[in-house]
Amino acid sequence: MKSVNRMIVLNMIRKKSPISRAQIAQETQLTPPTVSSIVKELIESELVKETQLGESQGGRKPTLLTINHLRFYVIGVDAGPSHIKTMISDLQGNIINKRQSKSIISMNEEEFLGALKEEIREIIHEASIGIEFIGIGVAMHGAVDVETGIGLFAPNLGWRNIPIKDSLELEFGISVKVENDARAMAMGEYWFGEYDDTESLVTLNIGRGVGAGIIINGQLFYGAQSVAGEIGHMTIDLNGELCECGNRGCLQTLTTGDAIAKRAKEAMSAKMLNELKGDLSGAKVYELAKEGNEVAIQVLWETGKIIGIGIINLVHLLNPDKIIIGGGVSKASEFIMPGIKATIQERGLTQQVKDTEVIESKLGSYSTIKGAVAVVLFHLFHPIEIT
């Protein structure tokens, strides 16, 4: 119980700081002596510090408390599917340093682990002397066992059963948390996105694949076998293209960067394709749309409509406060978002459903790696419940 109360007080200071001991007792309904005892321990551990004085309520001005953000640091890692990105963050998510590896696409599992250690080793070496780390968070492409920290399967790379947690803890002597990249993105948006009191949201990570992270009542939702959020394999077309998962017509066969490029190629004339410099990619389709290319604009509009189908299914199933879209494809949101919102308006069951907020990620390209940091902080500030 003492441990739970400590988490409650620590999380209250994180969310409401600067805050007084009396306010904490009032908000948490813990007794003032209990709060004072816990705060004393937190100050001694240097996680919390006293700051300015608050307004007097008739007696002495109370001393206000805040998280000691610059005392400890976290290493965040975005692992795959093409590069390893690492960053050092303070407890507020402010980036102290960042780096990116060379391509990891041609590596095997053992080589990947070696590259992962090397990147972490390098960013620690680049850090200021005296920085103390409280954890390493790894956002891993593909299926992850969060209890053991094993990367079960990385579909775009063909890797299986990578012992990430054990290998990194043995190498660095720091607590390691491993999470699926889409779920990490959801945690990053929830923790650092400043969405006021939003307690339920779904994030879509659309790039080389499509995944979703689901937060319900402030907790990540995993499902019975930890595969909740695999929206990329939601069937959109029963007779559609074969997906890498073995099924046909999955959402990601129509909405990834590669899928967008493929559909654009099919829609463009031979003359138009001949005039292009280099191969056509999803990013190139976006560039063409910005230049006013009607085919590219139409393909991105249709992509938005298809993503909208997946989103409206999610909204009808989970009814979250917000849907947040991130990943490489979200960079084309000016062309994709109108199609998404049109589909929601056409297909929503009620006006309230049609009014569901769908927005682009506030964290942008940092959403996943900041999510890796957030996973570490979530375990620090309150116990995670796998639901």
pLDDT digits (tens, 9 = 90+) for 4-29: 788 888 888 888 888 988 899 998 88
**pLDDT of 382 strictly over 80:** no
**For the range 379-384, what are the long-range contacts, defined as Cβ-Cβ under 8 Å and sequence gap of 24 or more?**
379/135, 379/177, 380/10, 380/134, 380/135, 381/7, 381/10, 381/11, 381/14, 382/7, 382/8, 382/10, 382/11, 383/4, 383/7, 384/219, 384/220
Which has more confidence, 204 or 270?
204
Q: What is the mean pLDDT of residues 120-127?
A: 91
The reported pLDDT for the residue numbered 295 is 94
The reported pLDDT for the residue numbered 58 is 56
Which has more confidence, 117 or 157?
117
The reported pLDDT for the residue numbered 1 is 54
Q: What is the mean pLDDT of residues 283-289?
A: 93
Helices marked H in 239-293: 252-255, 257-267, 270-275, 282-290
**pLDDT of 371 strictly over 50:** yes
- Per DSSP, 224 falls in state T
The reported pLDDT for the residue numbered 113 is 94
pLDDT digits (tens, 9 = 90+) for 71-103: 899 999 999 788 899 999 998 888 999 999 888
The pLDDT-based confidence of 172 (bands split at 50, 70, 90) is very high
What proportion of the chain, given as a percentage, has pLDDT over 70?
A: 95
The reported pLDDT for the residue numbered 385 is 45
Architecture of domain 2-67: Orthogonal Bundle (1.10)
Q: What is the mean pLDDT of residues 287-313?
A: 95
Q: What is the mean pLDDT of residues 148-166?
A: 88
Residue closest to 9 by CA, chosen among 382, 384, 385: 382
Element (H, E) at 229: none
The reported pLDDT for the residue numbered 55 is 65
Among 110-114, 267-271, 273-277, 301-305, the minimum mean pLDDT is found in 273-277
Among 126-140, 164-178, 327-341, the minimum mean pLDDT is found in 126-140
Domain 73-189+369-381 fold is: Nucleotidyltransferase; domain 5 (3.30.420)
Which has more confidence, 92 or 201?
201
Range with top average pLDDT, 4-13, 111-120, 214-223:
111-120
Do 84 and 115 meet the contact criterion of CB atoms below 8 Å apart?
yes
Instruction: Give the residues across from 203 on adjacent strands.
Output: 213, 324
Residue closest to 9 by CA, chosen among 54, 51, 39: 39
Strand segments (E) across 30-175: 48-53, 63-67, 73-79, 84-90, 95-100, 133-140, 143-145, 150-154, 159-163
The pLDDT-based confidence of 185 (bands split at 50, 70, 90) is very high
Among 113-117, 272-276, 361-365, the minimum mean pLDDT is found in 272-276
Q: Which CATH number is 195-361's, of 3.30.70.3040, 1.25.40.20, 3.40.640.10, 3.30.420.40?
A: 3.30.420.40
- Per DSSP, 383 falls in state -
**pLDDT of 387 strictly over 70:** no
| CA–CA gap between residue 250 and residue 245 (Å, rounded) | 9
Tokens found for residue 308: 């909208």
DSSP letters, 291-315, are TT-HHHHHHHHHHHHHHHHHHHHHH
The reported pLDDT for the residue numbered 86 is 96
Instruction: Give the residues across from 49 on adjacent strands.
Output: 66
Give the contacts of 290 (CB within 8 A, at least 6 positions apart): none
Q: What is the mean pLDDT of residues 294-319?
A: 95
- What are the Cα distances from residue 320, in Å, to 143, 203, 353? 23, 10, 9
| CA–CA gap between residue 40 and residue 58 (Å, rounded) | 24
The reported pLDDT for the residue numbered 2 is 61
Q: CB burial class (10 A; 0-12, 13-18, 19+) of residue 194? A: exposed
Instruction: List, by residue range, all CATH 3.30.420.40 domains of the chain.
Output: 73-189+369-381, 195-361
Angle at the Cα of 58 from the Cα atoms of 54 and 62, rounded to 5 degrees: 25
**pLDDT of 54 strictly over 80:** no
Tokens 């074969």 -> residue: 242
Instruction: List, by residue range, all CATH 1.10.10.10 domains of the chain.
Output: 2-67
The reported pLDDT for the residue numbered 170 is 96
